[in-house]
Amino acid sequence: MNTPTHHQFLDTSGLLCPLPVLKTRKALANISPGHTLLVRVTDPGAPQDITMLAKKIHAHILNISHEPSQNHWDILISSQPQT
């Protein structure tokens, strides 16, 4: 599966709730409409929390991938929903 390239990268590795969500929200507020943000998280609850954030602010989760060997998730988010 091809995932879109990202425009901005946010590494929240090592941060626990609620910091990954707060930093993601701030980063999404600062990117251009239609651009994407790739967020790397290590907190196991962060993918679900960031998914809920995306719904709340009308962003769109494009992809969530998990790398168990490196204990992180990559979450690709569009700053606006796809039409």
Active site residue ranges: 17
Which one, of 64, 61, 62, lies nearest residue 74 by Cα? 64
Separation between Cα atoms, residue 45 and residue 59, nearest integer Å: 19
